[in-house]
Amino acid sequence: MQKIVIIGSSGHAKVILDIVEKQALYSVVGLIDSFRAVGEESLGYPIIGRESDLPRLLVEHSIEGAIIAIGDNSVRERVYNTLSELCPKLPFVCAIHPGASIGKCVTIGAGTVVMAGAVVNPCCEVGRFCIVNTQASLDHDSVMEDFSSLAPAATTGGNCRIGRHSAIGIGANLRHGVTVGEHAVIGGSSMVLSDIDSFVVAYGVPAKKIRSRQKADKYL
């Protein structure tokens, strides 16, 4: 069984640990967290070091892969960039819950996580390091660009596109054919009936632009 590490140890990491156990494809050596002490645990898995320790830990533990368990899309990319400089040959693997439904002709990029009850219908493209959260649904022929996310119970119609780094909030819905630009945040329970520009926060029924945002603005 391939040995991996989980980058992060928060609640999101706990969900990913549970998925990895149910997948039964990987053996988790431990967790990497730069903000907790070595030896602390999440779900029984120990913190084994900081990000800067990873090159040494890969050798010591014969680690063959990693999953970045960080919910914020921009922070997840920042951590990926750091790790890629530290360990340029480290592969990133996917965590896909056995209870998720993945349709025919779906592509899923490296480092993406798909959680329990999620649906990814036929001919969708899910990019690298995306999150398809609990009971979220991406309908046919839709695209999630790299580092984008669907929160729990978020739903899209067919032929939708979610731009790089964009986050669709809990229970939000996208009408068929809608495009959400890059680095956008759609508020929870919103109904998106028309395209949303990049670098905006939008919410409501129907969803409308509320304000502009920057790439690094927190939203979780």
Q: What does the pLDDT look like over 126-172, one tens digit per residue?
A: 999 999 999 999 999 999 999 999 999 999 999 999 999 999 999 99
Domain boundaries, position 42:
2-86
Q: What are 159's two structure tokens?
A: 């032929």
Domain at 82, CATH number = 3.40.50.20
Known active-site residue 61:
no
Mean pLDDT value across residues 56-65: 98
Q: How many domains, the chain?
A: 2
Q: What does the pLDDT look like over 108-128, one tens digit per residue?
A: 999 999 999 999 999 999 999
Q: Which residues are known binding-site members?
A: 10-12, 71, 170, 188
109 and 59 in a common domain: no
Is the pTM value of this prediction over 0.75? yes
- Tell me: pLDDT of 220 over 90: no
pLDDT at 216: 87
Catalytic residue among 61, 97, 140, 183: 140
DSSP letters along 132-186, please?
E-TT-EE-TT-EE-TT-EE-TT-EE-TT-EE-TT-EEPTT-EE-TT-EE-TT-EE
80 and 44 in a common domain: yes
The torsion of the CA quartet 175, 118, 96, 47, rounded to 10 degrees, works out to 100
Q: What does the pLDDT look like over 180-218, one tens digit per residue?
A: 999 999 999 999 999 999 999 999 999 999 999 999 899
